[in-house]
């Protein structure tokens, strides 16, 4: 199998939620209990207005990466958690007219091949919104490096989600995301 041949395109993530969570479990580190919780959350998210997903699929049909997101809704849990932090930094306006990247994960065996960059660029290219926001663990990680290289800057740091052990950074970027030269 040629890793580089994974193809990026829209995917019915609700139908492939177990495959997607298996990727997330190994990429991000989720135990079985967390996978079960995430499964409900993902399926609920995918019913939100404007929710969409893209996947990276190998020639033999294996899902090795995915991204999903939706237009931000200030009533959604994620938005209500980050809003006070964005108010402090004067960036709460980013919660209006923004496309939220909810999850982005690439299987470790397929990382470093451009799939993460391709997935987030593909999904944001479909957004009508003029900007995009997301949260990432507040540490120097490949994810943070990727987001910065795409124009995302920190809107707030040390953001605490009630269920998460580690603080997050909230980042925002204008759309469309830049292409590599």
Ligand X SMILES: CC(C)(COP(=O)(O)OP(=O)(O)OC[C@H]1O[C@@H](n2cnc3c(N)ncnc32)[C@H](O)[C@@H]1OP(=O)(O)O)[C@@H](O)C(=O)NCCC(=O)NCCS
**Class of residue 32 by CB neighbours under 10 A (exposed 0-12, middle 13-18, buried 19+):** exposed
Nearer to ligand X, 2 or 90 (CB): 2
Q: Residue 33 CB, nearest distance to ligand X (Å)?
A: 19
Q: Contact 95/86 with Cβ under 8 angstroms?
A: yes
Please list the residues that pair with 132 across neighbouring strands. 99, 173
113 near ligand X, judged by CB under 6 A: yes
> Locate tokens 């290219």: which residue?
125
C-alpha span between 50 and 70 (Å, rounded): 5
Instruction: Single out the residue of 114, 151, 167, 176 in contact with ligand X (rule: CB under 6 A).
Output: 114
**Directed axis angle between helix 32-45 and helix 17-24, to 10°?**
130
Instruction: Single out the residue of 17, 27, 46, 177 in contact with ligand X (rule: CB under 6 A).
Output: 27
178 near ligand X, judged by CB under 6 A: no
Instruction: Single out the residue of 10, 142, 174, 178 in contact with ligand X (rule: CB under 6 A).
Output: 142
127 near ligand X, judged by CB under 6 A: no
Q: Interface residues with ligand X (CB under 6 A)?
A: 27-28, 104-106, 111-117, 136, 141-143, 145-146, 149
């Amino acid at each position: 199998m040629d890793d580089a041949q994974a193809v990026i395109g829209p995917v019915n993530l609700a139908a492939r939620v177990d495959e997607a969570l298996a990727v997330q479990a190994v990429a991000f580190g989720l135990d079985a209990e967390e996978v079960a919780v995430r499964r409900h959350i993902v399926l609920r998210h995918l019913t939100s207005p404007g929710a969409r997903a893209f996947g990276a699929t190998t020639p033999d049909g294996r899902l090795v990466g995915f991204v999903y997101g939706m237009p931000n809704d200030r009533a959604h849990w994620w938005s209500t958690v980050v809003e006070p932090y964005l108010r402090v930094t004067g960036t709460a306006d980013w919660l209006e007219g923004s496309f939220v990247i909810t999850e982005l994960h690439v299987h470790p065996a397929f990382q470093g091949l451009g799939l993460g960059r391709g997935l987030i660029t593909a999904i944001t290219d479909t957004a009508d919104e003029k900007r995009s926001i997301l949260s990432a663990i507040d540490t120097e990680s490949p994810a943070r490096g990727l987001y910065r290289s795409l124009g995302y800057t920190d809107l707030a740091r040390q953001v605490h989600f009630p269920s998460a052990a580690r603080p997050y950074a909230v980042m925002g970027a204008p759309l469309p995301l830049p292409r590599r030269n």
